[in-house]
């Protein structure tokens, strides 16, 4: 009997091609799109992801491929799990990564649950990553996609073994140009559709108006100071700044200044020279291990990525308090940012990861 797989179809070229690949492999393929139904109140227009146009694109591809198609209405879940988290993190002076939470809680949470209710064996997405089962250790392992430029393993580090057990990533073995070429050959109308942006539920290039609308009572101007506490200027509100930021400070001090610290309690932004943005040690909490921690030698140096487009750098990790780790880079890295994820790699294998809690000066 054919295995049933529900493909999370966003209306883009990757998920559309994923559905075709799985159908060719002999799966019983069902298409489904998340409808988050979100309207950006500040801008008066629908969100860029999972909007009506995307749903219609996905529906047309499903029709072309001859597969059933569903729309999963998940507006409340998206608001609670992703939007609220996004806003709360900025209020705390941290820089969130909503893609990771959307994957963990929405695609591989609510979406997976609804797919299983359709008696699916798996869900599949268009992520460029690979999952395989290691018989030796009895665990599913997450590995980088073959196309290193498009690798998305970083945003999947927080998934559980049970989530991996029900997941397929068909594009992990392919390169992006191959996917677009195949979509063109198939005549899929989305073959040249632009990719969505990182914060896909915000229309404009800046998230400031989005936060201004939602955080009216939480945004207060305050001082911009140097490390000695000298006031250099005034900031517009803690949520509008992130570690390493240079633009928008409106300071004329003869040399470029960067955000090197955010003090939420005092409502203060601390700035300094570029050299002061570099650090080598930080604390991680809420750690998720894909490879069991005890199987990693204590002295084992690993590669750590501190944001999606960070190339990764060699570091050591050690326990630090209850449920926390201390990560120490071999060489200082620019803009280690609380709120972002730190993901641990051994070659192409994701060992695990966690959330950056605090940077050690």
Domains defined along the chain, listed by start:
4-186 (3.40.50.620), 220-272 (2.30.30.280), 278-360 (2.40.30.10)
Within 13 Å, how many C-alpha atoms sit on residue 152's CB side? Answer: 21
Sheet holding 268-272, edge to edge: 231-235, 222-225, 268-272, 258-263
Instruction: State percent of the chain over pLDDT 70.
Output: 94
Task: Reply yes or no on whether the pLDDT at 39 is more than 80.
Answer: no
8 Å CB contact between 336 and 356: yes
Copy the structure tokens of residue 68.
């059933």
Is 50 known to be catalytic?
no
Please write the tens of the pLDDT for every residue from 261-302. 999 999 999 999 999 999 999 999 999 999 988 877 765 679
Instruction: State percent of the chain over pLDDT 90.
Output: 81
DSSP label at residue 225 = E
Which of 49, 87, 99, 102 is flagged as catalytic? 102
8 Å CB contact between 32 and 7: yes
For residue 63, the model assigns a pLDDT of 97
pLDDT-based confidence at residue 125 (cuts at 50, 70, 90): very high
Please write the tens of the pLDDT for every residue from 158-204. 999 999 999 999 999 999 999 999 999 999 989 888 877 667 788 77
pLDDT-based confidence at residue 323 (cuts at 50, 70, 90): confident
Is 200 known to be catalytic?
yes
8 Å CB contact between 71 and 37: no
Which of 49, 87, 99, 200 is flagged as catalytic? 200
Tell me the CA distances in angstroms from 25 to 136, 142, 308, 353, one per residue in order: 27, 21, 31, 32
Contacts 24+ apart (CB under 8 A), 75-83: 75/35, 75/36, 75/37, 75/38, 77/105, 77/106, 77/109, 77/110, 78/34, 78/36, 78/38, 78/102, 78/106, 78/201, 79/36, 79/38, 81/105, 81/106, 81/109, 81/110, 82/106, 82/201, 83/38, 83/201
8 Å CB contact between 343 and 353: yes
For residue 45, the model assigns a pLDDT of 43
Q: Give the residue carrying structure tokens 């955000």.
A: 259
**Alpha-carbon distance 290 to 159, whole Å?**
8
Average pLDDT over residues 79-108: 96
Number of helices and strands (H, E) in the chain? 9, 19
8 Å CB contact between 130 and 23: no
| 264-268-273 Cα angle (round to 5) | 120
């Amino acid at each position: 009997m054919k295995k049933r797989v529900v493909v999370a179809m966003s209306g883009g070229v990757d998920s559309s091609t994923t559905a075709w690949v799985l159908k060719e492999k002999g799966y019983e393929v069902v298409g489904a799109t998340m409808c988050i139904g979100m309207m950006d109140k500040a801008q008066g227009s629908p969100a860029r992801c999972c909007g009506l146009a995307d749903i219609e694109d996905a529906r047309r591809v499903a029709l072309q491929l001859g597969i059933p198609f569903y729309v999963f209405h998940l507006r409340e879940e998206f608001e609670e799990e992703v939007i609220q988290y996004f806003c709360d993190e900025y209020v705390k002076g941290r820089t969130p990564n909503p893609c990771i939470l959307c994957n963990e809680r929405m695609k591989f949470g609510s979406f997976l649950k609804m797919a299983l209710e359709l008696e699916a064996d798996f869900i599949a997405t268009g992520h460029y990553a690979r999952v395989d089962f290691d018989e030796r250790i009895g665990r599913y392992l997450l590995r980088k996609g073959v196309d290193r430029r498009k690798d998305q393993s970083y945003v999947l580090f927080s998934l559980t073994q049970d989530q991996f057990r029900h997941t397929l990533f068909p594009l992990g073995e392919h390169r992006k140009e191959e996917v677009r070429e195949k979509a063109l050959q198939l005549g899929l109308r989305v073959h040249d559709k632009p990719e969505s942006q990182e914060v896909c539920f915000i229309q404009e290039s800046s998230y400031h108006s989005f936060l201004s609308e939602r955080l009216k009572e939480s945004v207060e101007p305050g001082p911009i100071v140097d490390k000695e506490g000298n006031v250099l200027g005034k900031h517009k509100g803690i949520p509008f700044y992130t570690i390493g930021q240079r633009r928008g400070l409106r300071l004329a001090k003869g040399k470029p200044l960067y955000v090197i610290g955010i003090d939420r309690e005092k409502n203060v932004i601390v700035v300094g020279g570029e050299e002061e943005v570099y650090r080598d040690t930080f604390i991680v909490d809420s750690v998720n291990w894909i490879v069991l921690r005890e199987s990693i030698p204590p002295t084992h140096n690993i590669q750590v990525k501190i944001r999606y487009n960070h190339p990764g750098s060699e570091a050591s990790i050690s326990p630090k308090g209850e449920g926390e780790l201390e990560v120490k880079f071999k060489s200082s890295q620019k803009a280690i940012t609380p709120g972002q994820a730190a993901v641990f790699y051994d070659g192409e294998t994701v060992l695990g990861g966690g959330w950056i809690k605090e940077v050690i000066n």
